[in-house]
Amino acid sequence: MGSTGSVSSWEEALLVAAIQYPVPVVSGPGDIQVNVDRICKAVAATKAGYPGLDLIVFPEYSTQGLNTAIWSYDEMLLSLDSPQVGQYRQACKEADVWGVFSIMEQDPEGGPPFNTAIIIDNKGEIALHYRKLQPWVPVEPWAPGNLGMPVCDGPKGSKLAVCICHDGMFPELAREAAYKGCNVYIRISGYSTQVNDQWIITNRTNAWQNLMYTVSVNLAGYDNVFYYFGEGTICNYDGNVIQQGHRNPWEIVTAELFPRLADKARENWALENNIFNLGCRAYVAKPGGEKANYLTWVRDLAEGKYKLPWDDKIKIRDGWKYYPNGGQYGPMPDKFKK
């Protein structure tokens, strides 16, 4: 069921291309437009090379880069109405392909900005709007996402959800997406090599524990500070890797997915139907299964009382050395302007 570069797909096969975009070195607002133009060109070129392509995915920070000194100032932010997002919409429409894109989004209500992903359909409409629920603290200054974990209908019977980078380390978020019906879980990331192994492990476990495909893509290359490992990973709903990218910038990781098979596994499997069995424990001994909540952390989180036994010993619980004075927002200081 994997593809090593298929250029066509049949009516039940979702052909996916994950683009290991070269980590952009961004020093100011003008560099954003350069990235947008390159990404739109890549949409058109990839569709031309893979005429049966249904879905193209770009990594986190591919639009606005990772320059921590400037990335949260107003001039570096976009909105869903920005011309650059309009370019992404037009690119998908012209190429007749669905696309997943990353933007750092200005809060329309004036608060701290969001780390955002959008899914655009092949008509150029925004099908899904997601704000990162778990920013990568203590480095990222983004506001916690406030849109939950939305799921949208995608092509070829897919039900799509997207998470962003560190989100994928939380099995709770993958479970939330699956609980809402997602069968293709997309993860866009800007990870450097510190968590290379954990990246692959979590991409696999998110798939297996929820009986859904996972499509994960990371930036690739060196930005003069860190190396970003690429290694786009596409996993089957049984947790096995279908395709694994390497560390090459611009590598295109492709695979054919069959959303209906994930749906059928959820409907017909008995053994290891984990997402179902969670809510009806021991249905052999107890007809219908035990449905009462037995998880302390679920209860405490719901009641706003989540606290670890070692909470008072945790040392890093603010901006630490990265943002000793908190996140810096608003107009960009003159020292950063060209």
Mean pLDDT per 10-residue run, the chain (338 residues)? 62 95 95 98 97 97 94 96 98 98 96 97 98 95 97 98 98 98 98 90 98 98 93 96 95 96 97 94 96 97 97 92 87 85
Query: 40, 60, 140, 176: which one is catalytic?
Result: 60
Give the position of tokens 């694994």.
244
Interior angle at CA 96, CA 2 and CA 91, nearest 5: 110
Q: Which amino acid is present at 319?
A: G
Give the position of tokens 């989540």.
306
Q: Which amino acid is present at 96?
A: D
- The DSSP secondary-structure symbol of 281 reads B
CA distance 90 to 75: 23
Q: DSSP per residue over 150-163, as a string?
A: --EE-GGG-EEEEE
At residue 277, the 3 state secondary structure works out as helix
CA distance 140 to 53: 33
- The DSSP secondary-structure symbol of 318 reads S
Tokens representing 311 are 């909470």
Query: 163, 165, 182, 235: which one is catalytic?
Result: 165
Told to judge if 93 belongs to the known catalytic residues of this protein, a careful annotator would answer: no
Residue 22, CB half-sphere, CA atoms under 13 Å: how many? Answer: 12
What is the set of domains in the chain, with CATH numbers? 14-336 (3.60.110.10)
What does the pLDDT read at residue 2? 37
Told to judge if 165 belongs to the known catalytic residues of this protein, a careful annotator would answer: yes
Query: 40, 47, 105, 132: which one is catalytic?
Result: 132
Please name the residues in contact with 261: beta carbons below 8 A apart, sequence gap of 6 or more.
Answer: 1, 237
pTM for this one?
Answer: 0.96
What does the pLDDT read at residue 338? 67
Tokens representing 13 are 């096969």
CA 105 to chain centre: 15
Told to judge if 132 belongs to the known catalytic residues of this protein, a careful annotator would answer: yes
- Residue spans of beta strands (DSSP E) within the chain: 14-19, 55-57, 98-105, 114-120, 126-131, 152-153, 159-164, 184-189, 213-218, 220-222, 227-229, 233-235, 241-244, 252-257
For residue 150, is the peptide bond before it cis, meaning its omega torsion is within 30 degrees of 0?
no
Tokens representing 209 are 């524990």
